[in-house]
């Protein structure tokens, strides 16, 4: 069975600085996908970044990047130049190759201090 | 191009009543997923549907819960005889037909918050 663990219930960062959110997962499969979703107070889930497990290169999307360590089953999210609009719950998720179901972690609440 | 539309946004039901949650996928999307989020928790998968077919219902409670995605109209998540423990946010997501096996993530709606009193 897949599991996803986010060990940081809350994080805070000063505006314009960099913050890293942690995520570990467990799966016996070799092919899978990893995601970070953002949930602002509006409640809508927004896809931030996606990583394919067979790709060694870390995914990046503008100020968002990941550190994917397959052997350690770690998938952290780095947010550079934090902005007030980045304040939200962040969820790490995984899915297996061939499956559309996502397994989510418990979430990390990110606060941006002005 | 409207996103995934869920209604109602908020729903209050008394114990024992029925709750019907609606989800209209993005235009061109034929796959629908329902997730439940309890307070301060992550989303939990409930069911995956294509038009007129249930593909994976491994996350659906065995009783009182059902889902459909008819040929015409929105997908419906139905909860019969609601209990307090059903209070949660219910999210719908949709995706287009995909290259087999590849998961690009999907587009979520804003959710329906169900409160059972």
pLDDT in tens, B5-50: 999 999 999 999 999 999 999 988 889 999 999 987 889 999 999 9
Q: Is B46 in contact with B54 (CB distance < 8 Å)?
A: no
- Of the candidate ranges A55-59, A85-89, A106-110, B75-79, the one whose mean pLDDT is the lowest: A55-59
- The residue to which tokens 């941006």 are assigned: A112
What's residue B39's pLDDT?
84
Mean predicted confidence (pLDDT) in B62-90: 96
- What would the pLDDT profile of A87-96 be if each residue is shown by its tens digit? 999 999 999 8
CB contact under 8 A, A45 and B93: yes
pLDDT at residue A64 tops 60: yes
CB contact under 8 A, A43 and B89: yes
The Cα A36–Cα B50 span in angstroms is 25
Residue of B nearest to A54 (CA): B102
CB contact under 8 A, B93 and A97: no
Q: Is A2 in contact with A67 (CB distance < 8 Å)?
A: no
Mean predicted confidence (pLDDT) in A58-68: 95
List residues of chain A with CB under 8 Å from any CB of chain B.
4, 6, 33, 35, 37, 42-47, 50, 91, 93, 95, 97-107
What's residue B100's pLDDT?
65
Within 8 A of B35 by CB-CB distance, chain A residues are 102, 104
What's residue B94's pLDDT?
93
What's residue B58's pLDDT?
93
Tell me which residue in A33, A44, A105 faces B110 most closely, judged by beta carbons: A44
What's residue A93's pLDDT?
96
What's residue A78's pLDDT?
98
Tallying the residues shown for chain B, one arrives at 117
Which residues on adjacent β-strands are paired with residue B20? B78
What's residue B104's pLDDT?
80
Strands of chain A (E only): list them. 3-5, 10-14, 19-21, 24-26, 32-39, 46-52, 60-61, 64-69, 74-79, 88-96, 103-104, 108-113
Confidence of residue B101 (pLDDT cuts 50, 70, 90): low
- What would the pLDDT profile of A24-49 be if each residue is shown by its tens digit? 999 988 889 999 999 999 888 999 99
What's residue B102's pLDDT?
73
Q: Which of B98, B89, B74 is nearest to B26 (CA)?
A: B74
Tell me which residue in B41, B100, B111 faces A43 most closely, judged by beta carbons: B111
Within 8 A of A105 by CB-CB distance, chain B residues are 42
Residue of A nearest to B50 (CA): A100
3-state secondary structure of A93: strand
């Amino acid at each position: 069975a897949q599991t996803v663990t986010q060990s940081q219930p809350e994080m805070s960062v000063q505006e314009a600085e960099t913050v890293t959110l942690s995520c570990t997962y467990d799966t016996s499969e070799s092919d899978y996908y990893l995601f970070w979703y953002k949930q602002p107070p509006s409640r809508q889930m927004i896809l931030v970044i996606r990583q394919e497990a067979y790709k060694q290169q870390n995914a990046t999307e503008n100020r968002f990047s990941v550190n994917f360590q397959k052997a350690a089953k770690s998938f952290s999210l780095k947010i550079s130049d934090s902005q007030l609009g980045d304040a939200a719950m962040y969820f790490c998720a995984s899915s297996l190759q061939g499956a559309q179901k996502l397994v989510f972690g418990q979430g990390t609440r990110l606060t941006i201090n002005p | 191009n409207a996103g995934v539309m869920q209604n109602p946004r908020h729903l209050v039901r008394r114990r024992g009543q029925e709750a019907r949650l609606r989800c209209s996928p993005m235009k061109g999307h034929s796959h629908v997923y329902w997730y439940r989020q309890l307070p301060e928790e992550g989303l939990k998968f409930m069911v995956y549907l294509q038009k007129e077919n249930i593909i994976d219902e491994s996350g659906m409670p065995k009783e009182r819960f059902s889902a459909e995605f008819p040929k015409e109209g929105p997908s419906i998540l139905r909860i019969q005889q609601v209990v307090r423990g059903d209070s949660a946010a219910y999210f719908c997501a949709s995706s287009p037909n995909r290259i087999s096996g590849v998961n690009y993530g999907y587009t979520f709606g804003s959710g329906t918050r169900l409160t059972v009193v």
